[in-house]
Structure 1
């Protein structure tokens, strides 16, 4: 056979093989793709306005659409990716989600909807996948609805921070018995019902920072024995119940800074772990005889207090701005034994 013919056939075969390879690893316009054993797709162009269906591989396991002008997504869009396990749709223009959105992605593990414009979510919207991590951070949600979830959901991490929630129904959390990490920070929470956290025996981290809480029920954490990280900073707490931390033997970190606390009740910080850390700055501590418990605890556990030197008296006037640990019993008006 003529050498030129052989070369032509070889070139054609290579071209066809290359074309087939490109077809097997196609990538949507305005997106970038990686092709390991699983397929990861990232779309982050502001000019993207529609779901990038053309070119998506059925082998896609991770899809991230971020900082785009995507305004809608449907179940049919996701049905083309039956192996999808990680879906990130953040900082787009999504205003609503269909209730059947996840029905054809049975392996979905993480859904991140940070920074959208979601005001309302329909019932059963998170009932169609084995989700373990759900992020709804920085949306416009005014209520959290128990009907979003099935009974005995597999969710272990729920982030509802940065919304407009005024309350969290206990019925919602009752459906999340495996929950380990709950973030409700930066909402408008003014009160938590005593039984709100009752059915969360696995809860390890709770973030309530940046709300408007004025008080907490003495038994609010009674059923959360694994709680290790508790964030209560930047609220309006005026007092802490003496039994609030009872039974929390795993507590490692407690943030109470930027509240309205004046004193600590007797025994509040007893039986803490050696690894325990606390932040107390930004409270209007009144340094009188009622400060005795906290004053002695700070002196005995200085290594447990972050920014210890910034825990200062707001009153009385004679002690204003004095470091609490620098005080004497006489300063506090304590009668010597």
Structure 2
């Protein structure tokens, strides 16, 4: 049993610290003070001199005085994040000679002067992200000779000052207003991680990075690059690279990455890739993770090596649920990781004779890709034994037939062939056993004799028709006919290509023969299911995967034709225009008289609705929400207390609920 004297010695430091703890703060060993959400405009006074770690985030602090940190010689970590500090007084941190971690993120700083961080010779981590910094003095960081990490992302910088920090290991200047990075900006011989994402860069100067021989991580995502930077050939020690979000990048060449033998993580998501060069990942023998989501992949035989690599490689595919095919139509929306060799149209069966084929007109051409050789069609395509592509149909003179040039690649499914009908319109010639616009429907079997057993009835699939680039018409007639005692229809659809895959459910009457789903994303894959109203989704629902078309200029511009002038075409529109003008004038007078009567009625009874109430916006404003229905505010938003938080793009914008507290930043 320990003596009372020993217990007193053990409890003495904690008791001493607790006695000097300011009000509304919590003090604990080892010499750490937490002053969180105090709702005070100043730094707490009366802190213990032995304090090593001081957390004063989310306090509503608006300004700092020159002596607010006096008497804290042992302080090593200071967290002032998520306050409302707009400026830093001269030499405000000079009393903190031993400070190693300073967090000023999520404040309202506008400028960093050459005297903001005087005296911090041992500072290792400086976090200034999520402020409003527009200008940094060229000598602002020169005295920070021990600095290891500098975070300046999410500010309003238009230029980066020359950085001469010989010990710096991490630099993040992402999501600023920097259009170009000048040569001589980085004098950082030991830099290991550089993040320059979201800067609207259309190129990266090779001389800018060639001195960063120690670089291990490079993030140049969400810029405007149209090609892979040549500077990558100089960065042989790179282990992590992100090119994601450079939507102008449509091709990747293996020679651009030949020096990156040490690469372990590669992000090529959200580019404009239809395919990847064969054995592209063989250049990275140490690769552990790859992300290729949100690319319009054309899943044909040229991509079979990628599917095989995914199943055999030890590297993991990140965001696999968002890595899907866009083309051809039979593979649109399917997970790339789950495709089989036969799904890619590779030659595995002999040609199919068209002597017993049935014909159906191809009203809307299927999407195509410029990277795939055209498939042909008056006769069945010929398969080459030494190639994975289909040989074009040629005439006796050795020229390609007109259908070979007009038919979209892989327009017809299940062995069907494409040709022009008598009216020069595309149509699919379907083999025996298949029918439909693209030969996508399995035809019911025909009994060969009266004694033969009748073939089982197959459930009829729902048909999808494109209406522009953002709408899909769902034909419900077949489904209604296949069901008895149907009270209503439950239609569910979800986007398979984008980040938000939450399903949208609609309740439709059983008498509705077709329904048009509108306001969809163009060039995206959707999963559409139809089931009986009142039941939850189950395996008996009819489900299809459809692909919206890519918006083109032809879908928006009016079609003009050069024809001789016709008197009827001139007079009739003129008469109709005159009638419409007269109707509009009459409607305007009626509307004015009605508004006057409503105004008198409001004056008599004191009631009325504002336009905000009619649009559903006023309720959002009264609840403190800054965004109306149907609008999205990317990035950050301001809460009622003035703090800035990260708002997910897909969160409901008119909830009336208080904004949750932002997560705490993590220290390295």
State TM-score, norm by structure 1.
0.74
Q: Deviations over 1:5-39 (max 9, x none)?
A: xxxxxxxxx9xx99x96479512233222232xx2
Do 2:113 and 2:136's aligned partners in 1 also have CA atoms closer than 8 Å? no
**Corresponding position: 1:311 with 2:290:** no
**Residue 271 of structure 2 aligns to a residue in which SS?**
coil
Decide which of 104, 122, 129 is 1:113's aligned counterpart. 104
**Corresponding position: 1:32 with 2:26:** yes
Q: Following TM superposition, by how much is the alpha carbon of 1:49 offset from its aligned partner in structure 2, in angstroms?
A: 0.9
Decide which of 225, 238, 248 is 2:260's aligned counterpart. 248
Matches within 5 A, 1:204-243: 204-209=216-221, 211-215=222-226, 217-239=228-250, 242=253, 243=255
Matches within 5 A, 1:175-324: 175-185=187-197, 187-191=198-202, 193-194=204-205, 195-209=207-221, 211-215=222-226, 217-239=228-250, 242=253, 243-265=255-277, 268-287=280-299, 292=302, 295-302=304-311, 303=313, 304=315, 305-308=317-320, 310-317=322-329, 319-324=331-336
Q: Following TM superposition, by how much is the alpha carbon of 1:91 offset from its aligned partner in structure 2, in angstroms?
A: 0.7
Whole-Å Cα distance in 1 between the matches of residues 137 and 189 of structure 2?
Answer: 16
Whole-Å Cα distance in 2 between the matches of residues 246 and 144 of structure 1?
Answer: 38
Whole-Å Cα distance in 2 between the matches of residues 172 and 22 of structure 1?
Answer: 52
Whole-Å Cα distance in 2 between the matches of residues 330 and 170 of structure 1?
Answer: 52
Whole-Å Cα distance in 1 between the matches of residues 262 and 19 of structure 2?
Answer: 48
**Corresponding position: 1:49 with 2:61:** no
Q: Deviations over 1:74-132 (max 9, x none)?
A: 55333432332222111100122245344333332222222112233223645633333
Q: Following TM superposition, by how much is the alpha carbon of 1:275 offset from its aligned partner in structure 2, in angstroms?
A: 4.6
Whole-Å Cα distance in 2 between the matches of residues 172 and 215 of structure 1?
Answer: 24
Q: Which has the larger radius of gyration?
A: 2
Whole-Å Cα distance in 2 between the matches of residues 139 and 94 of structure 1?
Answer: 9
Give the corresponding residue for 2:77. Answer: 86
- Larger displacement relative to structure 2 (241-250 or 279-288): 241-250
Give the corresponding residue for 1:157. Answer: 149
**Per the alignment, do residues 274 and 225 of structure 1 end up closer, same or farther by CA in structure 2, a change over 3 Å counting?**
closer
**Per the alignment, do residues 283 and 23 of structure 1 end up closer, same or farther by CA in structure 2, a change over 3 Å counting?**
closer
Higher relative contact order (CA 8 A, sep 6+): 1
**Residue 84 of structure 2 aligns to a residue in which SS?**
coil
**Residue 326 of structure 2 aligns to a residue in which SS?**
strand
Do 1:153 and 1:178's aligned partners in 2 also have CA atoms closer than 8 Å? no
**Residue 53 of structure 2 aligns to a residue in which SS?**
strand
Do 1:75 and 1:104's aligned partners in 2 also have CA atoms closer than 8 Å? no
Decide which of 59, 73, 77 is 2:50's aligned counterpart. 59
**Residue 281 of structure 2 aligns to a residue in which SS?**
coil
Give the corresponding residue for 2:127. Answer: 135
Q: Deviations over 1:261-312 (max 9, x none)?
A: 33435675333134521011111224568xx4x6424422434223446433
**Residue 230 of structure 2 aligns to a residue in which SS?**
coil
State TM-score, norm by structure 2.
0.41
Q: Following TM superposition, by how much is the alpha carbon of 1:328 offset from its aligned partner in structure 2, in angstroms?
A: 4.2
- Larger displacement relative to structure 2 (154-163 or 140-149): 140-149
Whole-Å Cα distance in 2 between the matches of residues 121 and 239 of structure 1?
Answer: 40
Corresponding residue pairs, total = 314
**Per the alignment, do residues 235 and 41 of structure 1 end up closer, same or farther by CA in structure 2, a change over 3 Å counting?**
farther
**Per the alignment, do residues 97 and 281 of structure 1 end up closer, same or farther by CA in structure 2, a change over 3 Å counting?**
same
**Per the alignment, do residues 213 and 136 of structure 1 end up closer, same or farther by CA in structure 2, a change over 3 Å counting?**
farther
Q: Following TM superposition, by how much is the alpha carbon of 1:254 offset from its aligned partner in structure 2, in angstroms?
A: 1.7
**Residue 254 of structure 1 aligns to a residue in which SS?**
strand
